[in-house]
Chains A and B, each alone.
Chain A
Amino acid sequence: MNDSYKKLAKPYEIWLYIFALFPALVMFALIFLDTEGINLSEASLTFGNFSQLTESSTIIAFVNSLKFAFLSTLICAILGYFVAYRLFRSKFKNKFLILTILILPMWSNILLRIEALGNVMQPNNIITDILSKIGIHIGIDIKGTSVAVLIGLVFTYLPFMILPIYTALEKIDPSLEEASLDLGVTHLKTFWKVIFPLSIKGIVTGSIMVFLPCLSGFAIPEILGSGNIVLIGNVIDQFFRNMNYNIGALLALLILILILGAIFLVQKVDKEGETLL
């Protein structure tokens, strides 16, 4: 590439050095230190932080995180595939409009959305209010349960699943389906033998895009779980709040390694990054 174009990326490169690489290195250093907050004057070298990894509270939070991330990814994959497939099959001309509508909630602040969702999950809210005015008295009280957290996760991350699956489906040459039918294979079998295998790329990409934020996020379990559900993100949050940067950094880097592994996996499955939009 032309050298002069390389310069265009310089500002962002510097930005990355200052706000991503440098903090990551600091975090890496903190793992092996025992410090008072971020004050390095009384720092001493130690491997004691690693003992936190075997603490049952950490393990429970970690298992919880994996459980919730796995479940919401599964639910998102199933629901997302239905939606993407329906959209892919529809004869509607302006499919982009539908996609935009699906993404629309993502443009509002996530905390506001989750707070609002949490509100609906409590017995008294605006919807039950309106319904009771016309004589319907229903209300749910699930805030603080794992179901609420799961709903919140799926609600938030479903669009990230729909988009890559839809993209993968749209990229399938329609003549492949005709070829399969032409070879005497029924519609249902054609789906499983041709359409589905060719859309797996989209499912993998979408799964990573749902799994990772579910694994590391802490706002949704915090708000919808009312503190009852502790995920690894909440644990990290707690350590940082209590100025225990050493253990916080250790757990955060652990998550980072998981994320890098996942991105590596996506690259293996989807070499050209076709489904990443």
Chain B
Amino acid sequence: MGKVIIELQDIVKKFDGQVIVDHLNLTIYENEFLTLLGPSGCGKTTTLRMIAGFEKPDEGNVIINGKIFNNLPAYARPINTVFQKYALFPHLNVLDNVAFGLRNRSFKFLLSFFNEEELKKEIIQEKEQKGQNNKKITKLDLHKKINEKIIEEAKKSIELVKLSGFENRKIDQMSGGQQQRIALARAIVNRPQILLLDEPLSALDLKLRENMQYELKEIQRKLGITFIFVTHDQQEAMTMSDRIVVMKDGTIQQLGTPKNIYNEPQNRFVATFIGESNIIRGTYLEKNKISFMDAIFDCMGYTFNDNEPVDVVIRPEDFDIIPKENAKLTGTVTSCIFRGVFYEICADVHEMEFVIHAYEEIEVGKVIGLNVDPYEISLMKVNENE
């Protein structure tokens, strides 16, 4: 992994005495797409707002590029945000919205943003083309050039989000999906090191949302900047992220790649929040042997104490339906619903309801046998609090 860009050290944030973020530690790397995932009220948006500079942590440090940023105001951070409801300026048109960030910066900032030397070179070239002998570059020349550059950059950014031709439209003449894109263009035009996205897709319909997911990922790859994405939609998180942070009650439940989190959930919350799962109490007999529901199964890759009780997680799609004569587990089908690609079967197994995904329809009332491959079984430490 690349260089560390953000470090959250032991962050605590309270609102009216209520702990929203609880001793959170997180390291974020350059160029990664990190998603904060969790149900509403889990502290993900608050964490994002502390990185953006809209909230100050009560305890702990926000470290960006190795410097403590706790008290630095939002406008001084190399960070831009795409807001949940876009927060586009209704009194400006599309181009002015996108150019807003650059236009209102100081002259000094803009000189270094556009690289003063290059600006001067371009001005001299233009003067030569026009046949002017006056080689002296005035401040006015620079201002003019910078204004040109800002519009150029804004147009480039608008092109990147595929809205060319809409520059002069008013904001309220744009659809939700288009507004979403403008918000994105307005943020990336400033070339931030870090882009924060606060549930930006939640207001879009399903089809549009799926398209935007791919586009966001594509843009992130193209620009090579760190994206920190907040969502409560696990599907969204899975599709886009390099790493996912699953949060609940202000603490991190699990941090890992989408695959890692899906296949090896560390606790009941993660197992149920990300995808569907069947969770069964079992006993870790010895290395690679696990017993649950009066049967012994092979498993692999987990180490617990012998005879320690564990929670067994089996995803619905990981069950194989086999003839009941050869099966260690049998169950009676209680319902079978067509879900498009697969059938969702509910079966009563040892008085527990299992959810199974299968490609064939099975009639209700039939007794089926179930098998699970050793690598499909994931185990979690039992936590009595859950």
Measured CB to CB, the residues of A under 8 A from B are 173, 175-176, 178-187, 189, 193-194, 197-198
Contacts and interface: CB of A to CB of B under 8 A. Distances in A.
A174 to B, nearest CB: 9
Interface in B124-153: none
A183 B85 contact: no
A184 B193 CA distance: 13
Interface string B83-116: 1110111110000000011001100010000000
Given A178-B74, A183-B75, A194-B89, 9 more contacts: A178-B87, A179-B83, A180-B100, A182-B52, A182-B54, A182-B75, A183-B100, A184-B75, A185-B104
B41 interface: no
B186 interface: yes
B330 interface: no
Contact of B75 (A173, A176, A185, A197): A185
Interface in B168-215: 186-187, 190
Which 4 A-B pairs rank lowest in CB-CB distance, beginning with the nearest? A183-B101, A179-B87, A175-B87, A181-B74
Interface residues of B, number: 26
B87 A185 contact: no
A175 B104 contact: no
Contacts of B101: 183-185
B228 to A, nearest CB: 13
A180 B53 CA distance: 13
B79 interface: yes
Contacts of B73: 181
A217 B76 CA distance: 52
Given A182-B75, A182-B80, A193 B85 contact: no
Contact of B81 (A182, A189, A193, A197): A182
A198 B109 CA distance: 27
20 contacts: A173-B87, A175-B83, A175-B84, A175-B85, A178-B83, A179-B81, A179-B87, A179-B186, A181-B73, A182-B74, A182-B75, A182-B187, A183-B75, A184-B104, A184-B105, A185-B101, A189-B104, A193-B100, A197-B91, A198-B91
Nearest to A198: B91
Contacts of A178: 54, 74, 81, 83, 87
A61 B80 CA distance: 57
B83 A183 contact: no
Contacts of A176: 87, 89
B96 to A, nearest CB: 10
A64 B281 CA distance: 90
Interface string B212-243: 00000000000000000000000000000000
Contacts of A183: 75, 80, 100-101, 104, 186-187, 190
Contacts of B186: 179, 183
B75 A186 contact: yes
Contacts of B88: 179
B92 to A, nearest CB: 9
A194 B54 CA distance: 17
A13 B8 CA distance: 67
Residue among B53, B100, B186, B190 with most chain A CB within 10 A = B100
